[in-house]
């Protein structure tokens, strides 16, 4: 019986030593970045300021956030915690235009990103203020008859 107790004690010591000597594993979560503004951001043809919001979870000490767009008509004014401010140039064209903005978080040699679209409407004048019309007339006198007396209430329309 004594051998059984010594054997149990030795096995317990080995198990406790194996479990106890395991290096501490710190469970660090990876950073995540997410744009919280609905896509697309819409802006009028006159341009101006626009912005979008984002969340950054589990930031790293050496992390850096940047926003960029390949569109030449969008300037990134400021990137602060939780908000990015844009300056959009006026759109003189008839058609709307769309661009993609990429928000990148770089840390420890890694990077993660999220994207959002920006849609700018076209100008109603199409950038051509002095349009050439194919007709020109002066209406000095205008007379018309609207269904005559039919469908009128006491002769008025």
Quote the radius of gyration of the chain (alpha carbons, Å): 35
What pLDDT was estimated at residue 147?
Answer: 59
Residue 4 lies in a domain: no
Cα–Cα distance for residue pair 30/123, rounded to 1 Å: 44
CATH code for the domain in which residue 67 is found: 2.60.40.10
Structural domain harbouring 108: 32-120
Residue 100 lies in a domain: yes
Cα–Cα distance for residue pair 51/82, rounded to 1 Å: 10
Residue 18 lies in a domain: no
Position 6 pLDDT exceeds 50: yes
Residue 14 lies in a domain: no
Residue 148 lies in a domain: no
Write down the pTM of the prediction.
Answer: 0.61
Position 153 pLDDT exceeds 70: no
The one-character DSSP state at 11 is: H
pLDDT tens digits along 132-150:
566 667 777 766 666 556 6
Cα–Cα distance for residue pair 73/40, rounded to 1 Å: 16
What pLDDT was estimated at residue 2?
Answer: 58
Q: What percent of the chain has pLDDT over 70?
A: 64
* 8 A C-beta contact, residue 80 and residue 49: no
Residue 8 lies in a domain: no
Residue 71 lies in a domain: yes
Residue 132: strand pairing partners: none
Residue 141 lies in a domain: no
Cα–Cα distance for residue pair 31/152, rounded to 1 Å: 73
Mean predicted confidence (pLDDT) in 77-105: 90
Q: For the chain, what is the domain count?
A: 1
């Amino acid at each position: 019986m004594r051998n059984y107790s010594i054997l149990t004690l030795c096995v317990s010591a080995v198990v406790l030593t194996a479990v106890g000597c395991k290096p501490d594993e710190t469970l660090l979560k990876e950073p995540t970045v997410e744009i919280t503004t609905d896509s697309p951001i819409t802006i009028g043809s006159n341009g101006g300021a626009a912005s979008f919001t984002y969340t950054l979870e589990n930031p790293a000490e050496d992390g850096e956030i940047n926003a960029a767009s390949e569109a030449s008509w969008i300037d990134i004014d400021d990137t602060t915690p939780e908000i990015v401010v844009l300056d959009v140039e006026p759109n003189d064209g008839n058609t709307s235009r769309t661009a993609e903005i990429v928000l990148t978080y770089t840390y420890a040699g890694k990077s993660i990103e999220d994207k959002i679209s920006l849609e700018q409407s076209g100008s109603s004048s199409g950038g051509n203020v002095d349009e050439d019309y194919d007709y020109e007339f002066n209406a000095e006198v205008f007379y018309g008859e609207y269904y005559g007396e039919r469908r009128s209430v006491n002769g008025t329309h």
